[in-house]
Structure 1
Amino acid sequence: MPILIMGAAAATAAAASADTSPQPGGVYRLKPGIYVRKDVACNTAPNAVVRYYDGRGINSAHSRACRARILSRKGNRYEVSQSCIDAGAGPAPRVTERQTVTVPDALTFTLKTHGKGSTYGYCPAYMLPAGLRGFVR
């Protein structure tokens, strides 16, 4: 009998931590959700190092409704023109920026607009600060 109780407890814990977010896909074949620059822990990430991938583009804390248009692709490296509303909220103009996005796997990307670029890794909802958890579907 104790084995059944322990087994049920383990199954409940596993179900509670299961990732139910969408599968990788969209423009870059990345898992939709929150990404944090690789040198920063998910649970302490300030807005400046957070990106949100929704399958159409990579948004920041200061942009939204981003849409990437692929200009060229070589392997896992994309040259894109990304258009975003240039504000986190409220009315703002749409701006377009040329970017290079490299996607080595479904949970990691490097974004380069000028200079070296930054690498970001996927953060599951349970690892995010409470204020960011609402952005994850």
Structure 2
Amino acid sequence: MHNTCKRWAAFAMLMAAAGMAAAASPKSGGVYRLKHGIYVAEGSECRAPANAAIRSYDGKGISTAHTRACKAKVGKRRGSVYTVAQSCIDAGAGIAPRRIQHQQVTVKNSSTFTQDIAGNVTTYHYCPVRQLPPELRQAAR
């Protein structure tokens, strides 16, 4: 299996293990007023994003392809801007330590957010399940 396929398969298994269920209309809410599901960085396409461009929101926190079980603790909120300390297990799979990362999340609407981590600002948009690559689509069902 090609390395890219292996990474997609690992990420897809992660999303399935995290309970990323797809519905006709995704659940919204939790820590942030966002749809639950897969997001990709601005400039990336839903059908073929790089692992580094993928974020997953489950209502508790925003995970990457290399983190899981993220939990955001809101320190301060001003309107749609959240200053948080987010703790995540620092590995996509297997045993790993939980790490805390400080960040600012700005929720633009229920399907778009901006994440600022140490001055690195990236905007992400929600991907409907039908637009995801087969590996992620399968895990999201």
TM-score category (smaller protein): 0.7 to 0.9
Structure 2's unaligned 5+ residue stretches are 1-22
Equivalents in 1 of 2:36, 2:92: separation in Å?
A: 18
* Displacement after TM superposition at 1:20 (Å): 1.1
The partner residue of 2:27 within 23, 29, 49 is 23
| Partner residue, 1:38 | 42
Partner of 2:54: 50
Q: How many pairs does the alignment contain?
A: 119
Q: What residue in structure 2 maps to residue 131 of structure 1?
A: 135
Preserved CA contact (<8 Å) 1:21 1:32: no
CA distance in 1, matches of 2:135, 2:32: 26
Q: What's the counterpart of residue 10 of structure 1? A: none
Residue in structure 2 matched with residue 67 of structure 1 by the alignment: 71
Report 1:61-100 matches (<5 A): 61-100=65-104
Larger relative contact order (Cα-Cα within 8 Å, sequence gap ≥ 6): 2
Q: Quick one: distance in 2 between partners of 1:24 and 1:109?
A: 13
Larger-gyration structure (1/2) = 1
Segments of 5+ residues of structure 1 without an aligned counterpart are: 1-18
**TM-score, normalised relative to structure 2:** 0.81
- RMSD of aligned alpha carbons: 1.2
Amino acid at match of 1:47: N
**TM-score normalised according to structure 1 size:** 0.83
Runs of 4+ off more than 3 Å: none
Question: Partner amino acid for 1:95?
Answer: R
Q: 1:111 aligns with which of 107, 110, 115?
A: 115
CA shift, 1:80, in A, is 0.3
